[in-house]
């Protein structure tokens, strides 16, 4: 969340940042709560001054051997009034916290202005789309012809937007996860973690999914627990409520999980294939870093995600999300978009974001500077390295051969037991 002190001292700057986001900020509601809070605090201070005066008078009367009963009665009433006012202060503070939890992060100065997806500038394009001399097909048709995507049986088991992976594609998913993890551990210095797929509400509040995006989550009936929408949630919250030594920064974790999203509000979008499923695999990269280096770390993180696409020789581009397309918790985001020839377009395969101290403030993740006493909030970053299903879709479409087989990218052949291609069923 935003720093409450900053919001109180700079309400117009916050309003300007939300205007860049095209976010309808109810600043008058916050200012009204702040005015009410000040009124209550002023009244509390006045009552406490009266109580102090009355207490001094009681002490004086008792020293003189008099009866202070009449003053004590008023003193008791003052204490009850102060107690009631303190409760009102807590109520207002709770409303302020609730208001803050619904306000997104401020966009960084280098985040480009824009209203939405159409305004996202391309930073760089890497690789050239392949020229096909035979009909291009979409990944779901290719996967079915390989006998590796079974949507009908998945629907029988779980409903729409699920898939059963079989044969070579089941192995390809496993190979991709292992290749991604091995690359990030060996080449990029990450520590692998394996976390639960079920988290509590506090964890989702910490990373910003709750309370605003409850409709996008799968909640366990009768429990305040949820299936994870991304490994970002459990991995970032590993250090919730902790103070890290400065020497421990940066903390870098890589985690492979299944992710679960209800995709509320996305009906009719990407209903074919494996681009937008309720359950999908992903390798996530999470970094907890020193505030002074977080934007250098964002460039590093983005490059690490790009390295996977480069190793797989998949054409892609990097775009910067404009202020109106920015995720709720992010101050700046780069999206990696892989080329899908069957769709004749680039599609998102990773988002790499710097949240600054927005998540750390919600999750209370701090560090203690060397030689210093005062703690500070870390900056958190995360990015997909990569989304496995979308990587598989990109391989199926970019590596399709004339005979219907799909070549295996060279980097993956060792992970596929030496297999160099996936053949269609019956061949």
| Cα-based torsion angle of the residue sequence 384, 354, 286, 161 in order, rounded to the nearest 10 degrees | -30
Q: Are the beta carbons of 412 and 405 closer than 8 angstroms?
A: no
What tokens appear for 63 in the block?
């020293």
Reduce the DSSP state of residue 252 to 3 states and report it.
Answer: strand
Measure CA of the first residue to CA of the last residue in the chain; give whole Å.
Answer: 56
Question: What φ, ψ does residue 285 adopt, rounded to 5°?
Answer: -115, 125
β-sheet bridge partners, residue 143: none
The H or E element spanning position 42 is helix 27-63
Alpha carbons 376 and 311: distance in angstroms, whole number: 38
Question: What φ, ψ does residue 281 adopt, rounded to 5°?
Answer: -90, 150
Alpha carbons 51 and 207: distance in angstroms, whole number: 44
Alpha carbons 7 and 183: distance in angstroms, whole number: 42
In 109-250, where do the E strands start and end? 122-126, 149-150, 164-165, 191-192, 198-200, 225-227, 243-245
- Among residues 104, 364, 399, the alpha carbon closest in space to that of 244 is found at 364
Alpha carbons 319 and 340: distance in angstroms, whole number: 16
- Among residues 36, 123, 97, 136, the alpha carbon closest in space to that of 317 is found at 123
**How far, in Å, are 16, 289, 294 from residue 340 at the CA level?**
38, 34, 32
In the block, tokens 């927005």 appear at 358
Alpha carbons 376 and 249: distance in angstroms, whole number: 13
Catalytic positions = 261, 276, 348, 351, 390
């Amino acid at each position: 969340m935003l720093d409450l002190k900053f919001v109180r001292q700079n309400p117009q700057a916050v309003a300007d940042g939300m205007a860049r986001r095209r976010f309808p900020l109810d600043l008058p509601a916050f200012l009204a709560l702040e005015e009410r809070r000040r009124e209550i605090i002023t009244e509390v201070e006045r009552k406490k001054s009266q109580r102090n005066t009355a207490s001094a008078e009681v002490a004086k009367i008792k020293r003189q051997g008099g009866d202070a009963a009449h003053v004590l009665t008023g003193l008791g009433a003052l204490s009850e009034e102060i107690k009631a006012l303190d409760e009102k202060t807590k109520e207002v503070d709770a409303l302020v916290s609730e208001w803050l939890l619904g306000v997104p992060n401020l966009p960084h100065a280098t985040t480009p202005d824009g209203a939405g997806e159409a305004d996202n500038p391309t930073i760089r394009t890497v690789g050239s789309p392949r020229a096909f001399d035979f009909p291009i097909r979409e990944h779901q048709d290719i996967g079915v012809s390989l006998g590796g995507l079974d949507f009908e049986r998945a629907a029988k088991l779980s409903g729409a937007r699920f898939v059963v992976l079989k044969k070579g594609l089941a192995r390809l998913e496993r190979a991709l996860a292992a290749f991604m993890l091995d690359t990030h551990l060996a080449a990029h210095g990450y520590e692998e973690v394996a976390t639960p797929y079920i988290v509590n509400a506090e964890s989702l509040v910490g990373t910003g999914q709750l309370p605003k995006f409850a409709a996008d989550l799968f909640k366990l009936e009768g429990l305040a627990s949820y299936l994870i929408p991304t490994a970002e949630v459990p991995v970032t919250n590993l250090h919730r409520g902790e103070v890290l030594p400065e020497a421990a920064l940066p903390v870098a974790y890589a985690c492979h999980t299944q992710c679960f999203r209800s995709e509320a509000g996305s009906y009719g979008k990407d209903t074919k294939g494996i681009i937008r499923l309720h359950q999908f695999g992903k390798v996530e990269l999470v970094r907890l870093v020193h505030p002074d280096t977080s934007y250098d770390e964002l460039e590093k993180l983005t490059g690490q995600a790009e390295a996977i696409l480069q190793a797989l020789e998949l054409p892609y581009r990097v775009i910067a999300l404009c202020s109106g397309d920015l995720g709720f918790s992010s101050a700046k985001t780069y999206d990696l978009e892989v080329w899908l020839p069957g769709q004749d377009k680039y599609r998102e395969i990773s988002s790499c974001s710097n949240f600054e101290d927005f998540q750390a403030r919600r999750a209370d993740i701090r560090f203690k500077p060397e030689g210093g006493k005062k703690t500070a909030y870390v900056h958190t970053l995360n990015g997909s390295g990569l989304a496995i299903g979308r990587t598989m879709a990109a391989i199926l479409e970019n590596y399709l051969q004339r005979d219907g087989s799909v070549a295996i990218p060279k980097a993956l052949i060792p992970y596929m037991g030496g297999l160099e291609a996936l053949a269609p069923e019956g061949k």
